[in-house]
Structure 1
Amino acid sequence: MFKFGTAASRVVSITAVVAAVGLVPWLAGRDPALSILRARSGEQDPTEEALGSIRRELGLDADPLALFGNWLADAVRGDLGTSWVNGQPVLQSVLAGVGVSMTLMGVALAGALLVATALCVPTMRRGLRGEHGRGGGAAAAVLAAAPEFLLAALLIVVVSVWLGWLPPYGWQGPQHLVLPALAMALPAGAVLGRLVDDALPPVFGEQWVSLWRSWGCSRAVLARGVLRRALPPVLPQVGLAAVGIIGGAVSVEVVFAIPGVGRTALGAAESQDLPLLQGSVIVLLLVGVIGGVVSALARRWVLGPALRDAALITPPPVPVRGHRAVVACAGGVVAVLTAWGLTRDPLRLDTTARLSAPSWAHPLGTDSLGRDVLARVGHGALATVGVAVAVCAFAFVVALLLGFLPSVTRAAAETANAVPPVIAGLLVAATLGPDGSSAALAVALVSWPVLSEHAASLVEEARAAQHVAENRALGASPMWTLRKHVLPAVVGPLARHAVLRLPGIALALASLGFLGLGTPPPAPEWGLLLSETLPYVERAPWATLAPAGALLALAVFAVSLAASARVPRRS
């Protein structure tokens, strides 16, 4: 059934994102005319005459709201402005890359559906035979948690450098499409596959399945019925997978040197070409919105006009078993690397040992400047995980406060949840400049919605508890009830949920560091380390594998930690 509140919330969300994109030149707190002058000619003095000429040329002498209105009106007509760097129409530059990106995203989404199907086949076969169990394993969970830039780097090392099967860079033919599409398809397909894989066993346990078997229905008919019953709760996740693919496209295009709109957006953010950044981000967000709408329409089509009961379209959750041994192993690898690396100097240069192979002096080899990779990985753990702890604490506090106002914060939560961390990083970097604080702020802005939804669910359950109602009936004050009953019931589970999200936040920070939107060099940060060593992967693959291995261990730790404690989700 159509819900006006949900639709209005989404309209507010889209409007807020568009407004933020349109006001980027003035949110930056810098004179747009000065940015244009520096982009066009870094040696020219910023005199008042030169700045005034630029303002009159581009109409920047009006107030920000009027300029935003003009920009929005022009954008609706298809005019996204002019690049500050090369003076070319933004729409022309964006269209030059959007065809490449859409091709890449389309192939990646098709690959994700194939990966999801492959993960669900064993469970479907067991269910059709009347057996129980799930087919998805630990490998699928790790793929779901691994960021696209990490998979891209590993694919280059293994497939291109070691095996020599496919080219590592470029966009000259179909062979250049395989690795980047695979890097984007594997995590998205693993997420979708695990969701469907979790939904299938409860459906096979329902009474109508046994009834259909007793009627002699074929396996094909039974499989279609089970899928139609299990897919509706998962189809909205296809839209989220499209959003994830959009965010991953930026890093994948950078890794494989693909001339797509994601790489265009990153280049615009680095050069402060704000009109080009605005146009690129708008196109990326538009693709995400279209993906969400298509998945919602597909869900309604699968349900049909007869099914409207939420209980009929939401299978019961599947319990998750803990993996304490895997948590201990993954955490132990990270701890050993960190402790060992902290005993070394991460900034010491040795030009005579550039790109040296692993040895007793340098157990993980050296990078292109002769710095010890082990030292940089160890110190990078403190930088990456330390900032992640601060971001996680911020998200916890925000979620705890906003959990008491779910109706007020719904639009903001949907806005933040619909923006990939990479897009948020591009906008924040354009506003504040690329550095560690900008990356932390970008991840913090998109990390609190899931915790906020969980907090709202916990608050609702605590307030509806019988003992709370009895205390209110006995005359207890709202503040006393809040302090003695509601907060204790909310803080503990929400804090555990926040801890479970800590590795994912660290991986998001590493992805921004990899793209150059985080901590600047020479600081040791895992994403930045991977970015610095990737250009030399063919000469020194060990230098790339060290930070990649640390990030992969962090992904394994994230999956295992999440599996060790099931967090209830709001339905």
Structure 2
Amino acid sequence: MRLRARGPAGAAALTRLVCLTAVLAAVGLLPWLSGRDPALTVLRARSAEQEPTAEALDAVRRDLGLDAGPLSLLGDWLSGLLRGDLGISWVSGTDVLPSVLSGLQVSLGLMSAALGVAVLLACALVAPVLVRGRGSAGAFGAMLAAVPEFLLATVALLVCGVWLGVLPTSGWQGPEYLVLPAVALGVPAGGLLGRLVADALPAVLDERWVELWREAGVSRARVAAAALRRALPPLVPQFGMVAVGLTGGAVAVETVFAVPGIGRTALGAAKSQDLPLLQGCVLALLVLGLAAGAPAALVRRRLLGPALRDAGLTLPAPRPVRAHPAVPVALGAVLLVTIGWGLLRDPYTVDATARLLPPSWARPLGTDGLGRDVLARLGHGAATTVGTAVAVSLAGLLLALALGFLPRVAAGAADIANALPPVIVGILVAAATGPGTGGAALAVALVSWPPLSAHAAALVQEVRASAFLTAQRAIGATPWWILTRHVLPSVAGPVARHAVLRLPGVALALASLGFLGLGAQPPAPEWGLLLEESRAYVERAPWAALTPAVALALLAGLAVASAAYTQGRTVQHARRTSRRARLLRRPAPADSTAARPGSPSRSSRKEVSLDGNAT
């Protein structure tokens, strides 16, 4: 029994170690994996006038040790890492470690302030639920959590910095420069925290002990504190994932507000091919992401206490956030009409005489800095963004179905994938293959499969434990027959619907990489790229920035509304199924054995009703 208990944990730990080793090896081999010649980058940084002759490039390669092969290159990097030496910047010629530590200090300050904003917002969302026992905080928190950091940062810059002029929009020179970046980074995290707690609290407040405490005269504040302590331990691991999300969101926020943090430094190093600096920055971001779970585990142990640490405490099922079907239909209709209208127009025609024109009947959404029709670029950009998101979701679905039958292998790999935000993986992929749509799709696909895999594994376990499969084995059905005719069809449908619900989130992740210059490249009309291009003239033509921003906000709202509606339908179906199952298990009355001639028995009527052919 002891060996069996250690088996799954041991397999997950081994997979986790293998995946972590692979990630470290990829970081260490960046100079060798890079699709561009690092020697040419270094030569141009050292002397822009020197001709890139073969002799000059060979000299640079020997100087950097690039001609020694990948294993020697990886060994030198790891040995330097153990000594605390991250190498020399290829562009500036200075030590990498001071630059990494300086950027890390700035990012930690920004993330701490953002975490404070997130906690305050979460408290504001949870307070009405604690007071009334009910509330719509879960729905509002879900909306805030779905807004990408780069979109919120752009809107905050436009409104507070450009239109109102109340706060600085770039730099890092005082406390006032921290406000907008911290709000942009902390609001989505606070929405997620508030949603998790607000969705869990109503079920806790309906438990029997709460009623007994209230009848005994316990104060409202003490009951609320006890309910929070009851609700928080199962949610604390999710809080660690919020911290991981902060490391990825910091890259976009630092880029928008020109904050000299570790994320912006990593992005600049990737674009300039300064691979030693990029290695140090990515390593620091990886450490931040992987270390985010440790404080969460300590807090959970502290909340549970010694008596409940190994009890496997779980929460009652939370009430789902429901949405009327008209909400996702309306959002989808607005997007489809706008996209379809834009697909009928030309997105690439440049007209220098029509630069930055405001919206008109001829151009309903105005023009951009090159005189191109914004509506046309929005419509054609949707085809690129959504089409790539469909391909990524399909790849994630196939991978999840395969790993659903290997839960021990998937568990360890999922831990590493969850600790890597898409932006960090996108930086690594862009450094190796160059920025582009394919690289962005690969980056998102590498980290978007764990939720689908966990769903598939749970369904596989449930189907394999069902009684009808035991009957199939008893009558001699082969494992292949059971797999292809029963298990796989039962798993593929729900996981496919889950993948469809995650499609808007995947599209937003791709748009964030395009916004950072790691995805589609100009002149491609990709939504994130449209938002990034419009930042250069946001003061003169705010409509050019607001158009892709509103489209991305509608996409985020569609994701939340679709998930809420589907979740509500799923819970209703589960309740109806449970109610019917209880009716079938109810003992039959004494006269049920003597059914009237010509009429079905009560048991047969129940079976017909369960099949849905009669009531």
Q: Do Structure 1 and Structure 2 share a fold, with TM-score over 0.5?
A: yes
Alignment of 1:252 onto 2:253? yes
Q: Counterpart in 2 of 1:139?
A: 140
The AA in structure 2 aligned to 1:522 is P
For residue 12 of structure 1, report the CA deviation from its aligned partner. 4.0
How far residue 411 of structure 1 moved from its aligned partner, in angstroms, is 2.3
| Rounded Cα–Cα distance in structure 1 between residues aligned with 2:492 and 2:246 | 33
Q: 2 CA distance for matches of 1:11 and 1:300?
A: 24
4+ runs deviating over 6 angstroms: none
> Which digits, 9 at most, give the CA deviation of each residue in 1:350-405, with x for residues without a partner?
21221111111221111111111111111111111111111111111111111111
Offset of 1:46 from its aligned partner?
A: 4.0
Assess, with a 3 A threshold, how the Cα gap between structure 1 residues 34 and 338 changes in structure 2: closer, same or farther: same
| The 10-residue stretch of structure 1 (410-419 or 525-534) with the greater mean CA deviation from structure 2 | 410-419
Counterpart secondary structure, 1:213:
helix
User: What is the CA distance between 1:4 and its match in structure 2?
Assistant: 5.7
Q: Which structure's CA Rg is the greater one?
A: 2
Moved more, 37-46 or 141-150: 37-46
For 1:202 and 1:72, how far apart are their aligned partners in 2?
50
User: 1:103 and 2:109 equivalent?
Assistant: yes
| C-alpha distance in 1 between matches for 2:160 and 2:349 | 33
1:15 is aligned to 21
Q: 1:259-317 CA distances to partner (integer Å, 9 max, x unpaired)?
A: 11111100111111111111001111111222211111111111111114655333323
Aligned partner of residue 233 in structure 1, secondary structure: helix
The separation in 1 between residues aligned to 2:546 and 2:35, in whole angstroms, is 40
Counterpart for residue 130 of structure 1: none
Equivalent residues, number: 564
The reply on whether 1:267 has 2:268 as its aligned counterpart is: yes
Work out whether 1:60 is the aligned partner of 2:66.
yes
Aligned residues of 2:404 and 2:453 also touching (Cα < 8 A) = yes
Q: 1:473 to 1:172 in 2, by over 3 A?
A: same
After superposition, the C-alpha distances for 1:509-534 in whole angstroms (9 at most, x for unaligned) are: 00000000011101100000000001
Q: How does 1:170-569 map to 2 (within 5 A)?
A: 170-308=171-309, 312-566=313-567
Q: CA deviation at 1:75?
A: 1.5
Moved more, 433-442 or 62-71: 62-71
CA distance in 1, matches of 2:137, 2:415: 30
SS in 1 for 2:306: coil
Q: Which amino acid letter does the alignment assign opposite residue 476 of structure 1?
A: A
Letter in 1 for 2:473: R
Alignment deviations for residues 178-218 of structure 1 (CA, whole Å, 9 cap, x no partner): 11110110101101110001110111111221222233222
Q: In the alignment, residue 118 of structure 1 is paired with which amino acid?
A: A
Q: Could you say which residue in structure 1 is the equivalent of 2:596?
A: none
Structure 2 counterpart of 1:511, which letter?
A: S
Query: Which stretch shifts more, 204-213 or 438-447?
Result: 204-213
Q: Which deviates more from structure 2 when the two are superposed, residues 221-230 or residues 166-175?
A: 166-175
Structure 1 unaligned blocks of 5 or more: 128-132
How far residue 49 of structure 1 moved from its aligned partner, in angstroms, is 3.1
Q: Determine helix, strand or coil for the equivalent of 1:176.
A: helix
Query: Do the aligned partners of residues 412 and 290 (structure 1) sit closer, same or farther apart at CA in structure 2, a change above 3 Å counting?
Result: closer
Contact 1:80 1:275 in 2 (8 A): yes
- What is the CA–CA distance in structure 1 between the aligned matches of 2:423 and 2:23, rounded to whole Å? 14
**Structure 1 residue 141 displacement after superposition:** 1.8
Deviation at 1:471, TM superposition (A): 0.8
Alignment check: 8 A CA contact 2:12 2:410 kept: no
Residue 574 of structure 2 corresponds to none
- Cα 1:448–1:137 shift into 2, 3 Å: closer
Deviates more, 1:428-437 or 1:45-54: 45-54
One-letter code aligned to 1:410: A
The alignment's TM-score, normalised by the length of structure 1, stands at 0.95
* Paired AA for residue 24 in structure 1: L
Alignment of 1:1-40 (within 5 A): 9-29=15-35, 31-40=37-46
Question: What CA deviation, in whole Å up to 9, does each residue of 1:46-99 have, x standing for no partner?
Answer: 444323322332333333123212212211322111111111111122122222
- SS state at 1:564 partner: helix
How far did residue 38 of structure 1 move?
4.3
Q: Residue 84 of structure 2 is aligned with which of 78, 81, 100?
A: 78
The 1:28/1:79 distance shift into structure 2, 3 A limit, reads same
Asked if the contact 1:39/1:273 (under 8 Å) is kept, the reply is: no
Query: Aligned partners of 1:215 and 1:76: how far apart in 2?
Result: 61
Cα separation, partners in 2 of 1:99 and 1:63, compared to 1, 3 Å: same
CA deviations on 1:107-161 (whole Å, 9 max, x unpaired) are 001111111111101001113xxxxx23415432221111100001111122222
Deviates more, 1:84-93 or 1:308-317: 308-317
Say if 1:137 and 1:221 are closer, same or farther in 2 by CA, change over 3 A: closer
The answer (yes or no) to whether the contact 1:354–1:370 under 8 Å persists in 2 is yes
The amino acid across from 1:303 in the alignment is L
Matched residue type, 2:106: V
Match of 2:576 in 1: none
SS at match of 2:294: helix
SS where residue 327 of structure 1 aligns?
Answer: helix
Residue type at the aligned position of 2:298:
L
Larger displacement relative to structure 2 (216-225 or 485-494): 216-225
Local SS of the residue matching 1:125: helix
**Identity, % of aligned pairs?**
62
Quote how far apart the aligned CAs of 1:457 are.
1.0
**What is the rounded CA distance, in whole Å, between the counterparts of 1:210 and 1:10 in structure 2?**
44
Q: C-alpha displacement at 1:445, in angstroms?
A: 0.9
* Map 1:122-137 → 2, pairs under 5 A: 122-127=128-133, 133-136=134-137
Per the TM alignment, residue 337 of structure 1 is displaced from its structure 2 partner at its CA by: 1.2
**Which of 341-350 and 50-59 deviates more?**
50-59
Distance 1:463 1:45 in 2: 67
1:353 partner letter: A
- Cα distance in 2 for residues equivalent to 1:113 and 1:492: 38
Could you tell me how far 1:101 is from its partner in structure 2?
A: 1.1
Give the 3 Å change call, closer, same or farther, for CA 256–504 of structure 1 in structure 2: same
Q: CA–CA distance in 2 between the matches of 1:157 and 1:99?
A: 27
CA distance in 1, matches of 2:48, 2:496: 49
Q: 1:116 to 1:7 in 2, by over 3 A?
A: farther
CA RMSD, 1 decimal: 2.0
Question: 2-side partners of 1:72 and 1:13: how far apart?
Answer: 17
Distance 1:296 1:364 in 2: 49
